[in-house]
Amino acid sequence: MQLRDNVQTLRSIPLPVDATQTMREEHFSLVLHEYHSQLVSYFFMPPPLPICSHVGAQLKKSKTTIWAICLGAKLFKSLSENPHSTMALRYIGWLDKLEEDLDFIFNNSPQQINAAGRLLTQLEIVFLKFMSIGIISGYIVLQKALPGFLSMIAADSDSCTEHPGGSLVVSFAHTFGAPRYEIKRFVMYDIATSLVLGVPPLVEYGYDSECDLISYGLGQLHRIPAPLVEIISQVNSWRGGSRVTPLDDWRNLERRVLAWQPRPIVSETEGSNTGKTGRLAIHEGWRHVTLIYIYMGMCGVSSHDPRVQSSIARIVKLGEAVANLPVGVHMFVHFLIVGIGARCEQHRSIVRKKLASFKGSHIWTFRGPKFAQILEHLWQSAGAGGAPVTWEDYVRSRCIVAPL
């Protein structure tokens, strides 16, 4: 297929605005407003201003990013109305087409797409595949986005160093606090998929400096405290056999988690006591998610360890506190981790119900039903009858139910 045919195919996707090269300023504003509104409805809070500003600047430069965002807006609308409708399935099919044509255009006419625009478009496709098709489909696109991410990182000497063995070591603190939205978004997806899939991180991270919490915004959007994200990433790296030092031992990581205190966040959507209570419950839940991951993922203890069971009970109680609040959508990982360590049928039943609700447009980032299948396999195999399970048992069940 010729380049012009690929471009024409992309333009055939029905868009709510005119996405041609001569797009008028008012149409551009409409796209940005629609994107912003979608994020507010999805995350239940406005995205931080630096994210909006950077995405807006990229939209002016990258037509493919506009296509991805507009397609995403239509997909969200269709999924919220009827996730099984013909239009929803058609938009999902267009994701593959958009991905194919993006690669074709970049390989055959790279001057039409800058590196940042291509990475941002790929990550938008990753996100849309996560929430509409499944984590495996999105993860495959994330793997394809790795070369673009590394090429952008390599251009910044503060972001990476060369390991004595020749591999590229990426500064976690510098990239996670980077002003570029697409850089920190890639890191966030890498950390999250490594955690829930049980795979090594795509990137070799170094942890020799502290995160800049002032410039940190994406985790705030996902309601994940930055210090805990870094600790989860360190456990990921340890499990992936990282050769980079220093990596804290589990006792130091545990001390950091226990000592962590939530920082106040000012948000228009959290002005009420209910909003603040919901945010604090989500943050406190992440503390216990992180502790369980340290104990089971790094120390190798089983789900019957008293520390694991104590944190599970705490997460379940916190989940009850936000059960009827919109912010409860951010507890997907919390209940997945509870499911991994759940030894009693009462907790397993709660997890089944919660994960079943994470579908359609009501999701965190990943779809719940597939992970419910993984947990059912775990409960009927290694965890049958409430038997103790290990993190490796969970990874084996994931590999069987959702192989890469």
* pTM for this entry: 0.86
Which pLDDT score, from 0 to 100, does residue 6 have? 47
Which pLDDT score, from 0 to 100, does residue 362 have? 61
Which pLDDT score, from 0 to 100, does residue 190 have? 97
Which pLDDT score, from 0 to 100, does residue 400 have? 98
Task: Print pLDDT tens along the chain (404 aa).
Answer: 444 444 444 445 444 434 444 344 555 566 556 555 655 555 545 555 555 555 656 565 677 777 787 788 788 778 778 878 888 889 889 988 888 888 887 777 666 677 888 898 999 999 999 988 999 999 999 999 999 999 889 888 788 887 766 678 999 988 887 778 889 899 999 999 999 999 999 999 998 877 655 445 444 545 688 899 999 999 999 999 987 877 779 999 999 999 999 876 555 455 556 667 888 899 999 999 999 999 999 999 999 999 999 999 999 999 998 887 777 778 899 999 999 999 999 999 999 999 988 876 566 688 899 999 999 999 999 999 999 999 999 999 999 999 99
Which pLDDT score, from 0 to 100, does residue 382 have? 98
Domain regions of the chain by residue span = 1-133, 134-244, 248-404
Which pLDDT score, from 0 to 100, does residue 295 have? 98
317-328 tens-digit pLDDT: 999 988 877 777
Which pLDDT score, from 0 to 100, does residue 161 have? 80
Give a three-class secondary structure readout of the chain.
CCHHHHHHHHHCCCCCCCCCCCCCHHHHHHHHHHHHHHHHHHHCCCCCHHHHHHHHHHHHHCHHHHHHHHHHHHHHHHHHHCCCCHHHHHHHHHHHHHHHHHHHHHHHCHHHCCHHHHHHHHHHHHHHHHHHCCHHHHHHHHHHHHHHHHHHHHCCCCCEEECCCCCEEEEHHHHHCCCCHHHHHHHHHHHHHHHHHCCCCCCCEECCCCCCCCCCCHHHHCCCCHHHHHHHHHHHHHHCCCCCCCCCCHHHHHHHHHHCCCCCCCCHHHCCHHHHHHHHHHHHHHHHHHHHHHHHHHHCCCCCCHHHHHHHHHHHHHHHHCCCCHHHHHHHHHHHHHHHHCCCHHHHHHHHHHHHHCECCECCCCCHHHHHHHHHHHHHCCCHHHCCCCHHHHHHHHHHHCCC
Cα Rg of the chain (Å, integer): 21
